[in-house]
Amino acid sequence: MLYFMNDYSEGAHPRIIEALTKTNMEQHVGYGLDDYCENAKDLIKKRIGQLDVDVHLLVAGTQTNIIAISSFLRPYEAVISTELGHISVHETGAIEATGHKIIEMPSADGLLKPEDIDKACNSHVDEHMVLPRLVYISDATEMGSIYTKAQLEAIRKKCDERGLYLYLDGARLATALTCDDNDLTIKDIAELTDAFYIGGTKNGMLFGEALVIINTKLKPYMRHAIKQRG
């Protein structure tokens, strides 16, 4: 019988379990500085075609979103997301718990549009309100929809016009990239976002997400932020 309850009910791909068994008694330094982690980071950098990005290996999607978003924003800054975004409906208020408001925009298909960004910014105009600073999208979305290259380029253009960061939640990025209708590549995503993460938990791994930071302004002290938030 096939179960479609979620995409992470099982343990992991058998090859992962086999590799873990073989290396179980090896001794390594911790905190993501071992040879295996460094090799994984290098492979990601080569695959996206940018060797100067920062890659941080984290445990789960919610943790990755908390660490990234709270680190990228000043205390009075906010996130723009659809009302169906994972940070809006499936993370128990985790982002708000860090002090950052989520400005939720209506969406029937889970996709954020450039005009949504304009509406969010135009409705937050003075010091009595939070300041929109980061746009959050996910690919694939909670509704199963995916972004086209043209759509992502349009969002990037709008973010540049508004002085906003663009962050892509990639918990199901492998699903999106292998979809028949997809025309985006992981290199496109690295070129069009300020930061994104590659999901492993929902794609056959025991756990794990790889946070990729492209924008140099967002790189400093990220390891401090990771340690502070566990």
Q: Where are the domains of the chain?
A: 41-228
pLDDT per residue rounded down to tens, the chain (230 residues): 677 777 778 888 899 999 999 999 999 998 999 999 999 999 999 999 999 999 999 999 999 999 999 999 999 999 999 999 999 999 999 999 999 999 999 999 999 999 999 999 999 999 999 999 999 999 999 999 999 999 999 999 999 999 999 999 999 999 999 999 999 999 999 999 999 999 999 888 889 999 999 999 999 999 999 999 98
Q: What was the pLDDT predicted at 8?
A: 79
Q: What are phi and psi of 82, to 5 degrees?
A: -75, 160
Q: What was the pLDDT predicted at 1?
A: 67
How far is Cα 219 from Cα 228, in angstroms, rounded to an integer?
16
Of the candidates 96, 91, 33, the residue with the CA atom closest to the CA atom of residue 60: 91
pTM listed for this prediction:
0.96
Q: What was the pLDDT predicted at 169?
A: 99
Given 3.40.50.450, 3.40.50.300, 3.40.640.10, 3.30.70.270, which CATH number is that of 41-228?
A: 3.40.640.10
How far is Cα 88 from Cα 150, in angstroms, rounded to an integer?
25
How far is Cα 63 from Cα 94, in angstroms, rounded to an integer?
9
